[in-house]
Structures are given as structure tokens and as C-alpha cells.
Amino acid sequence: MAKVEIYTKAFCPYCTRAKNLLSAKGATFEEYDITMGGPKRAEMLERAPGRTTVPQIFIDGKHIGGSDDLAALDRQGGLDPLLAA
């Protein structure tokens, strides 16, 4: 199974939606809560240049984008192959 990483904030409905989709696919993920900022927020900004919103999702190091990007990838049939890698 692919390594999935997701940067989130507390009370973020888009984060919840993305995590629910990943869970429904049977994917396990490492969640980084950046509610209070800190080094993980700086890491996210470095890994996803120009993106300041959450969630930001990475699969095997590849930047997928946010919740809408993840859902679009799933609708296009591209999410399952990435998760299976």
C-alpha cells in the first residue's frame, strides 16, 4: 500500500471529507495536524509551494492537492492505482 500523508487542521470539514474518502478506500495515512502552525506547517508550505490551505495530500511523496483534487482524482479513476502502488 502506498504511503499517504495528509496535513490537516482541527474542525476542517474538507480535511474530514478527504480522510473519509481515504478511509473508505482502505488507505491508512499519516496525519499532520498543523492547527497551531509549527515546523509541520512550514514543511507543508515547502512541499506544496503556493498552497496554504488544508488539507494537502501526498501519496508516495507526490503532491495530490486538496480535498477537491483528491475527489476529482477518484472520479477519474486515478486514486485506486496510486493507493495500490
Task: Dump pLDDT digits (tens) for 21-59.
Answer: 999 999 999 999 999 999 999 999 999 999 999 999 999
Do the beta carbons of residue 78 and residue 53 sit within 8 Å? no
State the CB neighbour count (10 A cutoff) for residue 63.
14
* Whole-prediction pTM: 0.96
Query: Domain residue spans in the chain?
Result: 4-84
- As a whole number of angstroms, the distance between CA 18 and CA 55 comes to 8
Instruction: Quote the longest CA-to-CA distance of the chain.
Output: 35
Structure confidence by residue, pLDDT tens digits, 73-82: 999 999 999 9
Yes or no: domain 4-84 corresponds to CATH 3.60.21.10: no
| Residues whose CB is less than 8 angstroms from the CB of residue 81 and which lie 6 or more positions away in sequence, other chains included | none
